[in-house]
Structure formats: C-alpha cells, structure tokens
Chains A and B, each alone.
Chain A
Amino acid sequence: MLSRTADNLYWMARYMERAESVARILDVSHRMSQLPGGQEAAREWLPALIISEQLEDFERTYDAVSAGHVIAYMGLDPANPSSIHSTLKAARENARAERNILPTEVFETLNTTWLEMRDIQYARLVEWGFREFFEWVKERSQLFTGIVAGTMLTNEAYHFTRLGTAIERADNTARLLDVKYHGLVPDDEAATDEAADYYQWGALLRAISAFKAYRMTYREAIKPRQVVDLLVLRRSFPRSLHACYAEIHPTLETLRPGSECARLSGEQYARLRYSRPQDITRRGLHRFLTDFLNRNAALSEEIARTFLFVPGG
C-alpha cells in the first residue's frame, strides 16, 4: 500500500474523530454554562479554548470570550483549521483522494456530511439549537465509524483508519478530562463541594457519553477518582484511554511487529492496563494527562516516520 494512501486514511479518520471531539468539548462547556452560577461566560468557555489549544489563535480574531464567539470560532470558522467546519472538510478531502479503495458508503457519508456542513451558518445554528448541532456532528461521526466497521475489509486500509480514530479519540478523552484542571473545580479531592462536583462531573460524563456507563459501573454518586478510573483505566468503556490503546497496540504489532511505534504503544498500553486510580491521582491528574498527551503525539509522529508518510524519507 502507498504511504500516501495510509496517510490519507489515517487523517481521514483523525479529522472525523476530531470533529466529534470539538463537538463534545463545546457540548461540555455549554452544559456547564447552564448550571447554576454558570452565567459568567468566560469561566465556562475559556477551558474549551485552552484544552483544544486554540486560545491564542482565537484571541487574534475575537476580543472577548463568549458562547457565541467560541462556537462560531470552533464550530464554523473556515479559517480555523481545527473547527468542525474545517475538519469535516479535511476528512472528506482525504476520503476523496482514496475513494477508489474505500467502500462506496464511506466516501458517500463523508461527502454528504460535508455538503450539509457547508450550508450551516451561525444564524441557522441559533435557530436549530447548539445542542442539536453537537448531536448532529456526533451522529455523523458515529455513522462513519459504524460504516467503517460494517463495510471495510480488515486489511491495511482498515488498520490505518482505525488507528487514526483511536489515537484521536485518546487525545480527545484526555483533553476533556483535563477540563477539571482548568478552573472548573478545585483540583483537590478533599476540598470538593459535593453538589458542584456532581453537576460538573456529571456534565463532563454526559458530554463524553459516559454518564450511563458510570452509573452502571459504580452504582453510586459521582466521585472524581471513579471518573478517572472509568475514563482512563477501564477497558470496557470504549472511549477510555485504555480501550483506545487496547486497539492501537495490537494494530501496530500487526502492521509492523517489533517496530519503535509498536514499542511506544506497548509501553503506554501496559501503563494504562496495570495502573491503579491512586497511581494517577497521587501524582496529580493534570500531570498525568499532560504526559499522556505528549506521548500520544510522539506516537503519532513515530507512526508517520515508520510508514514513510513524510516525503523525503
């Protein structure tokens, strides 16, 4: 398989997952802003920009942080390469370049999604409801992963597609979990106000589609340590870091046994598989997540090197 093909499929999946990720990040901010005391726009919307590393660019265009500005920038702005608009377009362009090897439905669903996205303006979004828009983006992304699972041969093309989804998803979950560090609630378990905790962690779990999973797994009130357990260490929750690496590591071992990227992913996988919640909270969740995000990005670079995505290699 051509390296470019692998690269396009990997990024097709990453961009699609990233669109979903941005929708989830906006969704959690939106939910938080609707909680009591959440009317101070900046406090609820600033973290969305920080965790997605878009604050600096945002400030170049907008003078104040508000719900409207953040949603317009992260959702609709064609000049922002990480907006939902831009990532859905990029996913479609990557798929279009490889449409001869993708099942017809994969290209067609990405094409339809992009054609609809292209026509969405801010005014229409207000009329539609922000929540409805986030749900639509999540649905289109879920449709994509479902069609990939349901129609693609499990060959190299499939592996690179899944790899893109899993690596982007791990990045997304880690960033969302880090919302806590960025001023939503004190980063100190002892000092928590239980009611605030319940609603804020609840909003986070809902945005990440983990609320029910939490209830079914723990059957008790929301406790930060258990949220960390679910979103980082639980193999059974499909958006947890562990679940992502349970797919990434064997995939890389299949594609290139014994390679540096297989080793890096194996190292991460072992950590996620055998760590305990207290191992993470003891060192501080933010520190853990920062380290994880760096390693996850390093793995992505190593994949590019290994499979010659970079011309000149």
Chain B
Amino acid sequence: MSDSVTTQRVPSSVARFADGLLAVDLPRLPDSNRCDAVAFIERRIRVLPSITRFGVQAIAAGVHAAGVTLGHARVRRVVLKLPLPLLTEYPRLIRSLGYAYIWETWPDTDVDGGTVEGRAA
C-alpha cells in the first residue's frame, strides 16, 4: 500500500488494489499521479451499470479479504495469473481505466511511469 492512498482516508477495496497494481506496473509514476489515477478509477467504478458494479465490488471485497489474510502483494500476483473468467476481468478493468487516464492526462509518461519532470530531475 503506497503512502499516497493511506495518508488521505480509508481507501476502498478497489482503491487499495488499483494503487498496488499501478505501483507495481508503473514504479516510476509519481505518487500524486497514481493517486489521481486511482481516484479516477474509483469514480468510474462508482458509475458502472448496477450489476457490473456489484460484481466488481464483490470481487474487490473478496480479493481484499484474501489480501488481509495472505498478504496483498501475494494475492495480487495470484489474481493476475489465475485464468478464472470473471476474476481476470478485474485487474484488466483496473489497468484499462488506469492506463487510459494516465496517458490521456500525461501523454509523455514513460512505460515505467516516469515523467518529463522526473527525467529532468
């Protein structure tokens, strides 16, 4: 769990998972950018059609509960590898929303999340 999420408020299961996933996928993405992306993902999840939203939130809750017991990083790795139909859609949705937001908002972002400002520094 990165500081960007934990310092603000109690995050949702979706936010925790999204934050961890983006932190691993894009390690050089600035915390503030990741925080914005996670907030965007949460907003979009909130306006999903009812049944899809219930499904996503149920999976998110299950993944979070498993993470509390077994460790979030470990569970995240398992979720990414398990070829279960609905479960695989969860990280796919999170990544799709997150990546779309990041590259639309900061099109110069590197593949590892690095930014122009980061490169200059």
Partners in one complex: no
